Homo-oligomer: A and B are copies of this chain.
Amino acid sequence: MTEPLKIALAGLGTVGTGVVRLIETNAALIARRARRPIQITAVSARDRSKDRGVDLSRYAWADDPAELAARDDVDVVVEMVGGSDGPALALARTAIAGGKSLVTANKAMIAHHGLELADAAEKTGVALKFEAAVAGGIPVINGMIDGAAANAIDRVYGILNGTCNYILSSMEDTGADFADVLAEAQRLGYAEADPTFDVEGIDAAHKLSILGAIAFGAKLDFAGVETVGISQVKAADIEQAHALGYVVRLLGMSELERDPAGDRLFQRVRPYLVPVDHPLANVDGPTNAVVAEGNFMGRLLFQGAGAGDGPTASAVVADIIDIARGEKGPAFSMPVAELQPFGKASSGHRVSRSYIRFIVPDRPGVLADITAAMRDAGVSIESVIQRGDPDQDGEVILAIVTHEGPEACVTEAMRILDGSDSLTAAPLVMQIIGE
C-alpha cells in the first residue's frame, strides 16, 4: 500500500462531522478503492469544546482554518466553512496557492469564484473538486465530466433544491399554503431560519450555473441565471395544475441555444408545470434529480438525496478518493482558458406553453379585460379554469393555459394588464415543460 493521502478539514458542522464519521466508518473499504489510505491529520472549527459526537483528539487542531493550508502534513484541504466569500474563500485561495488540493461543498463560493479558483489550481497543478456542491449526494458532476463526456449536451435541468421540493410536494400532499408548509419545514429542519436563499431559487441558481459550465464547457455565469422562487405559488396553483395533469416543481434549466451567429446560454430557475408522467414529477420530498440530454446518449437521469450530512459527506469523500487515485483533471472538465464565454440567451424568444394564474375580483368584465390583453399581445389561449366561488375577500382564482408561443408575448400581456383594476394581485406565470 502506498503513502496515505493526508487531509485537513475546515468546518465541523453537520457535513464536516459527517465526513469524519464516513472516513472512520468506511476506512478499510476506502483504502482498497482509493488504492491508499485516507488519513485526517488536522481539523479546524470555531468552537473546540463543542461535543460533535466524534472523537477529534487524534487530529491536530487549528483555531484558524488558514493554518491548515500551511501544514506540511496536509495534501488536501476540505473546505466546509461555508459562505461565498470571507474565511472560506481566503482558505481556498491560500490552500491552492500553497500547492494543496481543495475539496469543497460550497456552491455559493464556486458559483461566484469557481473560475478564479480553477485557474489558480491549474497554475499550481492541484485538484479543485466540488461534487457535493451540486445535488448533494448525487454524483452528477462526475456523471457529466466522465459518464457523459462523449456527448455534446443540449440541455441539463432538474430539481436542485431539496427545501423547495419538500415544500412543493408537501403542499401537493396536504393542500396547505406556502407559508404554513414553510413553517413546518423549518420546524423539521428541512428549511433554514432565513429561507430566502432556498425559496427564492438562489441556491438552485448557484448549482445550475456550476452544472451548466461543466455540461457546455461554458464560462460559469451565475449572474446570467434568471431566477424566480416559489414563494408566490399558492395551494390553488397546485390544485389547478393537478386538474390539468401536472405537478409544480422548482426547476433549474440550462440549455445551449445553437446559432450560426454565436451560441447562447440560457439559464433559468423557476417553478414549472411538469407532466405527471415525467420522471421529475415523481421526485418528492427533499430528493434532487438532474436530467442531461446528449446528442448520442439521449436522456439521462440522476436522482438521490440532495442534502443531509451522509449524502453530502459521500460526495465530498468521492472527490477525496479521486484525488487519492491521482485523478486531477480540470475542475470544469476543461481548462478555464478553453471554457467559452457564451452570450446570455433571454427567455423572450423561447416557445413555451404557459400557465398563468390571476387573482381577480368577482365582477363582470374581468375575463373580457384579461382575454383582450392576451389577444393584443398575441397570446393564444388553450384553456381557462375559473373556480366557481369567490373567497372571503370576494376574489376568484382564474387560471389560463396558453398554446405554444413566444414567452415575450406572455410578458407583453402581463405588461398590458399591469395596474389593471381587473387584477387584485400580481399574476403568476409558470412554463410547462414537455414530455
On whether A329 and B334 interact (CB within 8 A), knowing A297-B314, A298-B310, A317-B150, the answer reads no
State A327–B149 Cα separation when bound (angstroms): 14
Give residues of chain A (308-332) contacting chain B, Cβ–Cβ below 8 Å.
Answer: 308, 310-311, 313-315, 317-318, 320-322, 325, 327, 329
User: A305: CB under 8 A from chain B?
Assistant: yes
Name A's B-contacting residues (CB within 8 A).
18, 22, 25-26, 29-30, 32-35, 131, 137-139, 142-143, 145-152, 217, 277, 279, 282, 289, 294-305, 308, 310-311, 313-315, 317-318, 320-322, 325, 327, 329, 333-334, 338
Given A297-B137, A298-B310, A318-B147: A152 and B304 interface contact (C-beta under 8 Å): no
* Most B C-beta atoms less than 10 A away, residue of A29, A139, A308, A321: A139
Say whether, besides A142-B147, A149-B318, A310-B297, A303 and B305 are in contact (CB < 8 Å). Answer: no
Contact partners of A308 in chain B: CB under 8 A: 298
Measured between beta carbons, the chain B residues less than 8 angstroms from A325 are: 327, 329
With a 10 A CB-CB cut-off, give which of A149, A310, A322 has the most chain B CB atoms.
A149
| B contact residues around A300 at 8 Å (CB) | 137-139, 302-305
In the complex formed, the residue of B with least CB distance to A294 is B314
Name 15 extra pairs, CB < 8 A, besides A131-B147, A296-B317: A25-B295, A26-B152, A26-B296, A29-B217, A139-B146, A142-B146, A150-B317, A296-B310, A297-B304, A297-B310, A298-B311, A299-B305, A300-B305, A302-B303, A303-B303
Contact: A35 with B146, CB < 8 Å?
no
Nearest-CB residue, chain B, relative to A143: B139
A314 near B29 (CB under 8 angstroms)? no
A30's partner among B35, B149, B298, B311 (CB-CB below 8 A) is B149
Closest CB in chain B relative to A15 CB, distance in Å: 11
Residue of B nearest to A277 (CB): B282
**Nearest-neighbor residue (CB-CB) of A284 within chain B:** B277
Q: Given A29-B152, A29-B217, A217-B29, are A304 and B298 neighbors across the interface (CB < 8 Å)?
A: yes
Question: Quick one: which of B26, B138, B299, B318 contacts A304, CB cutoff 8 A?
Answer: B299
* A146 to B271 CA separation, bound complex (whole angstroms): 32
Given A314-B297, A318-B146: A32 touches B304 (CB 8 Å cut-off): no
Closest to A217 in B: B32
Asked whether B150 lies within 8 Å of A296 as measured between CB atoms, the reply is: no
B282 near A311 with CB under 8 A, answer no
Q: Which residues of B contact A131 (CB under 8 A)?
A: 147
Contacts of A317 in B (CB 8 A): 149-150, 296
Given contacts A311-B296, A314-B294, contact A30 B150 (CB under 8 A): yes
B149 x A146 contact (CB < 8 A): no
Residue of B30, B149, B301, B310 near A302 (CB, 8 A) is B301
Contacts of A25 in B (CB 8 A): 152, 295-296
The answer to whether B150 touches A313 (Cβ under 8 A) is: yes
Contact call A149/B297, Cβ cutoff below 8 A: no
Complex contact A147–B143 (CB within 8 A): yes
B residues near A289, Cβ cutoff 8 Å: 301
Q: Pick the contact of A296 from B18, B139, B294, B298 — CB < 8 Å?
A: B18
A147 cross-chain contacts in B, Cβ below 8 A: 131, 138-139, 142-143, 315, 318
Once the chains bind, are B146 and A322 in contact (CB under 8 Å)? yes
- Other-chain contact of A313, B139, B142, B296, B303 (Cβ < 8 Å): B296
**B329:A35 contact, CB within 8 angstroms:** yes
Within 8 Å CB of A30, what residues of B? 149-150
Q: For A296, what are the chain B residues with a Cβ–Cβ distance below 8 Å?
A: 18, 22, 25-26, 137, 310-311, 313-314, 317
- Quote the shortest CB–CB distance from A305 to chain B (angstroms): 4
User: In the bound complex, how far is the Cα of B333 from the Cα of A329, in angstroms?
Assistant: 19
What is the distance, in angstroms, from A105's C-beta to the closest C-beta of chain B? 13
Contacts of A32 in B (CB 8 A): 217, 334, 338
Contact of A146 among B137, B146, B150, B301 (CB under 8 A): B146
